[in-house]
Amino acid sequence: MKFSVFALFLLVTSCYVARAEEGGEMRTVLLHLDRLEIARVHLEAGHPGTVAEMTGLLRSAEQKLSVGPFTVVFNDSIATSGDPHDIVSTGPYWWPNPDTPDGLPWVSTDGHINPNANLDWDEYIGLGRATEALMLAYYFTGDERFAEHTANLMRTWFIDPETRMNPRDEYSNVIPGIQAGTFNAPGLAGLIFNRNMLDSLAMLEASPHWSNEDKVAAQNWFRDFRTWAADSAAAKYQFGSPTNHGTSFDLAFAAIGIYVEDPEFTAENVEHYIYNRFPLQINADGSNPNEIIRANNMYYHRSNLEQMLAIAELGRLADSVDFATYEMEDGRSPRLALDFLIPYWTSEKEWTFWPDEVFPKEPYFYFLALRQAAAYFGDPRLLDAADSLGLTYTPGRYANMLYPEQYVLDQVWAGDANVDSIFDSADLVVVFRSGKYETGEEAGWDEGDWNRDGKFDSADLTLAFAQAGYEAGSRQASVIVVPEPQALPGVCLCFLYLVSLFRRQNVLG
């Protein structure tokens, strides 16, 4: 199926208007409706990355209309409880023992996933993949086919007594001969963060195919799951972990709080992560002491960072601590953890921390993580870092739709080269010292490229002063004003000042 930009725009805009007249209130958990609306504008403008992702999304959503239903009772593997409604899997890095006749006890090969480990989780993951594509397509098109199929899939997994999963997870990660099972916190967090499971449920509330009774039943399932976790030894084991498993626990339950409309519960989990878990997850250089010792440790650093930022986003929704500006007394901070990884992602440095085997790089995931971080921190320099990977979009994922670049640019003044929230003379000195004005050389945000065309020229200066942000304070505390005609002489004077600075570069440098 092929889509032109014009056809995509007509489909998205026309269907959206129809749904807006008929549907209910749309809400999300980790996704941002304002970001999705910016993506709609990017689509209208023919933004290449957004068009590519939308084309892939609509193709995937059409295919997902024929998948399912998904249910734990389809699998032949039964938990030791004997109840087919209990979800079950084996440990992802555990394999039959080659040195014993019966293969017991299983042995670990860290970093290498056993393809037969998921069992019931194959169904759960299938549900997440399907509903994410269907509900994002529903958001952009308003096509009720997508919502109707999602509603049927969700009822099968969470509500229908014949097929629903029990609201507990005692029997995942079974290790034959060693462990009877435990709570798969990373698996649940992965569905919530990577596949937007709770967002799909929340977005369904805008469709007439998801009744209020459905909403209450689904929310009660997660409330019951929360109650189970508070009393379960399997869940407490994960809660006590300083590793990415503990981060997954905090993320999953912080997100559940937003979904069940209990922001105080979300804030409790966010603040537990910040004050109790984060200090155990970062060294003075920004590396993670728990993950650096693992095989495939670069993956675990990235995964933990992504979940950390997702927790921080949830904290904002719950009016909790602003983790973006948080810094411990010794200087450790979430930004330090990010800055530690960036030069390895962009190949400025070579990752030398492998304990033994070298694992392949994952540039598409680095691109997605950098766009996520740019959106959270409001830092266009992170957009430049993502661009340096040579990618424009992420196949099968939706970086341009979930973390559109304009959302980042709207948080900072054009001209704020050092991203300190203020556009002032210090920024002008920085960019003219770079020596790239009107040279045609490739430039980044901190070198004067504020319109993101890859160069620093008069167009960037025009944009910066047109926003009227010069010495106007923080952009997030201001309203963007396009200068009236009488203000243009002042802009021209500023431009002349900039040119004089440029001519004196050698003195400044």
Specify if 289 maps to a domain.
no
Q: What is the CA radius of gyration of the chain?
A: 25
How many structural domains does the chain have?
2
396 falls within a domain? no
Question: Residue 503 and residue 362: Cα distance in Å, rounded?
Answer: 43
38-78 residue pLDDT tens = 999 999 999 999 999 999 999 999 999 999 999 999 888 88
Chosen domain end from 239, 261, 293:
239
**Residue 184 domain flag:** yes
- Per-residue pLDDT averaged across 144-173, rounded? 97
Taking only the tens place, the pLDDT of each residue in 279-313 is 999 999 999 999 999 999 999 999 999 999 999 99
* Residue 486: per-residue pLDDT: 37
Which secondary structure element, helix H or strand E, spans residue 107, and what is its range? strand 107-108
| Phi, psi angle pair for 113, to nearest 5° | -80, 130
Structural domain harbouring 158: 1-239
Please write the tens of the pLDDT for every residue from 89-109: 998 899 999 999 999 999 999
Q: Is residue 465 one of the residues assigned to a domain?
A: yes
**Tokens found for residue 166:** 């029990």
User: Which uninterrupted H or E stretch holds 94?
Assistant: strand 94-95
What is the domain-level CATH number for residue 19? 1.50.10.100
Residue 261 located in a structural domain: no
Residue 294 forms part of a structural domain: no
Integer Cα distance of 377 and 323 in angstroms? 10
Going by C-alpha positions, the residue among 478, 491, 497 that lies closest to residue 425 is: 497
pLDDT tier at 9, thresholds 50, 70, 90: very low
- Let me know: does 132 contact 200? Beta carbons within 8 Å: yes
Of 184, 207, 239, which residue is a domain's last?
239
The answer, as to whether pTM is greater than 0.85, is yes
Cα angle 403, 408, 411 (rounded to 5 degrees) comes to 140
pLDDT of residue 321: 87
Report yes or no: 80 and 163 within 8 Å, Cβ to Cβ. Answer: no
Query: Are the C-beta atoms of 169 and 183 separated by less than 8 Å?
Result: yes
**For residues 429 and 419, is the Cβ–Cβ distance under 8 A?**
no
- The H-or-E segment that residue 95 falls in is strand 94-95
Of residues 255, 251, 228, the one with CA closest to residue 241: 251
Average pLDDT, the chain: 89
For residue 57, tell me if it sits in a domain.
yes
Q: Give every CB contact of residue 83 below 8 A, 6+ residues apart in sequence.
A: 166
Give the residues across from 88 on adjacent strands. 171
Whether 84 is in a domain gets the answer yes
pLDDT digits (tens, 9 = 90+) for 311-325: 999 999 999 988 998
Bridge-based pairing state of the strands 107-108 and 94-95: antiparallel
Structure tokens of 170? 């005692």
Three-state secondary-structure class, residue 182: strand
Of 186, 219, 239, which residue sits at a domain end?
239
